[in-house]
Amino acid sequence: MDAQEWLTTFADRLGLGPLAQADIDALLDLASVAAHTSERLAAPLTCFLVGRSGISPAEAKAIADEIARS
C-alpha cells in the first residue's frame, strides 16, 4: 500500500473525504518547519494540533513560519 492509498483508506475509515493535494503539501511543509525548528517529534504532534484546531494547513503553516522566525 502506498502513501496515497493509506491516506485515502484511513480518511474513509474516519468518515472523511480524501486529502486535497494542497493540504498534503501544506502539512508536509508544516511538519518540516516543526521538525527543523524544534525536534523531530514535533512534526506529527504539530499536525495533530492543526487537526484539532480546525484551521487550514496553510494557515497553520503561516503560524509555524512566524514561530520559526522568532
Q: Which grid cell sits at 49?
A: 494540533
DSSP sequence for 12-32: HHTT-PPPPHHHHHHHHHHHH
Q: Given pLDDT bands bounded at 50, 70 and 90, which one contains residue 2?
A: very high
Query: What is the per-residue pLDDT for 29?
Result: 96
The predicted-structure confidence for 11-69, as pLDDT tens digits, reads as follows: 999 999 999 999 999 999 999 999 999 999 999 999 999 999 999 999 999 999 999 99
Read off the DSSP letter of residue 38.
S
Query: What is the per-residue pLDDT for 33?
Result: 96
- Cβ(35)–Cβ(42) below 8 Å: yes
**What are the residue boundaries of the structural domains of the chain, listed by start?**
20-69
Q: Which grid cell sits at 33?
A: 518547519
Query: What is the per-residue pLDDT for 58?
Result: 95
